Amino acid sequence: MVELLLLVGIGVALFVGFNIGGSTTGPAFGPAVGAGAISKLLAGGLMAVFFFIGAWTIGRRVVDTLGRELVTDPGVFTIETSIVVLFFIGGALFVGNYAGVPASTSMTAVGAIAGLGIATGALDWTVMGEIAVWWIVAPLVGFWVSVMIGRYLYPTINRWIAITSSEGALVELDRSGPIPIPRRGPNTTRREFIGTVVLVSIGCLMGFSSGTSNIANAIAPLYGAGALELNPLILLGGAAVAVGALTIARRTLDTLGNDLTDLPLTAAIVVAVVASGIVIGLSAIGIPASFVIIATMCIVGLGWGRATRTVTVTESVRGEAKPNVSVGALAAEAPGEEAPGIGEEDPEDIPAAADLFDPATTGRVILMQNLVPVLATAGAYATFWVLFRFLW
């Protein structure tokens, strides 16, 4: 019977890992996919590799935190309770992935474990409170930093970087020698190539950061129950994440790379830098980072800041100067053209704000990202309250 329960627990943990791969690949590589820098298949492969590296190295520390420190009595983790916790984590994440909205795996997992802790009176409220405070502060910081960059600094940054997406392949293999060597495509400029490498590298760094915090969400309950050693659990969890990154993650890549906001390559780099900086900072102080929420709010903030930026232009009609007028919009980024600074936009070249920032999609994303952790917490609490009072 115990062996059967263990197999069920491993199966549910694999299901959770599958959904983690689906929900975290979008924030990490959505900007790169949306900018046309890499394909969805390559994004999934890179996510699988760097997630595993992060999980194998730093991730085991977070596993110990969620599996043994969030609750005052680790004895509440049994194989049975672990299965129930993992069921709510995986089920809630699947709802978000099915809707094409990446939910926060950290918030969902901690919420489900907190539901168990509250129902059994074993939740460490001090640890929970510290985590919750940072979950509120960090996305707000990412949002407003991105808004300010999009509203006031984006044209200057774009002039510095001046990266546009050229036609044709970004990289081609030189097969003239015995070993194929990757080289720039025939139409790829040096600045475009370097900028794209930076963008993808930051996505890899975010994938690594995700592995350091999110592997615990799939395996911490089983580890807390003493069901398996840590290394086999990390291997199983990493494999499940890889499958999710290569399959169901395509929906979240579409949402964060294409549907949420128009994200040219320069903007994608800005989002990746801001989001990864905050995630790394939280990991450094031992907080399970709400990776998805931070990255999503950075995308929303930059899109909103760019779409609502007020600039001043002067038109000349029939030789007569017209007064300065306000135009809320973003500088157009035509391929091969240098984006003008504030006050230099041609109004005819400025796309409408609705083409740059989709309020309906944004509302759906924010709603689902808050609803999914609530579902996991409430469901776990209600289930364990009934089980411990009437059945166990």
Summarize pLDDT for 87-96 with one digit per residue, the tens: 888 877 777 6
Residue 181 has pLDDT above 50, yes or no: yes
| 103: confidence class by pLDDT, cuts 50, 70, 90 | low
Predicted local distance difference test score (pLDDT) of residue 241: 95
> What are the residue boundaries of the structural domains of the chain, listed by start?
2-173+181-308+357-391
Predicted local distance difference test score (pLDDT) of residue 273: 81
Q: pLDDT tens digits for 339-361? A: 343 333 444 434 444 444 566 76
Query: Considering the entire predicted model, what is its pTM?
Result: 0.72
The whole-chain average pLDDT of the chain stands at 77
Mean local confidence (pLDDT), 193-214: 84
Residue 106 Cα distances to 29, 146, 227, 303, 351, angstroms: 18, 22, 22, 25, 37
Closest CA to 193 of 202, 184, 201, 182: 184
8 class by beta-carbon count within 10 Å (0-12 exposed, 13-18 middle, 19+ buried): middle
Q: pLDDT tens digits for 23-37? A: 788 878 877 787 677
Please tell me the least confidently modeled range out of 44-58, 199-213, 237-251. 199-213
Print burial letters for 229-262: b (CB count within 10 Å at least 16), e (below 16): ebeebbebbbebbbbbbbebbbbbbbbbbebbbb
376 in Cβ contact with 108 (< 8 Å): yes
Q: What type of residue is 99?
A: A
Residue 222 has pLDDT above 80, yes or no: yes
Predicted local distance difference test score (pLDDT) of residue 142: 94
Predicted local distance difference test score (pLDDT) of residue 166: 65
| 171: confidence class by pLDDT, cuts 50, 70, 90 | low
> Higher pLDDT residue, 123 or 310?
123
Mean local confidence (pLDDT), 229-241: 95
Beta bridge partner(s), residue 71: 123
| 250: confidence class by pLDDT, cuts 50, 70, 90 | confident
Residues 6+ apart with CB under 8 A from 149: 157, 270, 274, 302, 305
Residue 292 has pLDDT above 90, yes or no: no
Mean local confidence (pLDDT), 255-280: 69
Q: pLDDT tens digits for 275-288? A: 878 877 777 777 78
Query: What DSSP state is assigned to residue 261?
Result: B
Residue 336 has pLDDT above 50, yes or no: no
| 392: confidence class by pLDDT, cuts 50, 70, 90 | low
Coil, strand or helix: which one is 269? helix
Residue 76 has pLDDT above 60, yes or no: yes
Residue 320 has pLDDT above 60, yes or no: no
Predicted local distance difference test score (pLDDT) of residue 34: 73
Predicted local distance difference test score (pLDDT) of residue 327: 30
Closest CA to 11 of 76, 114, 108, 90: 90
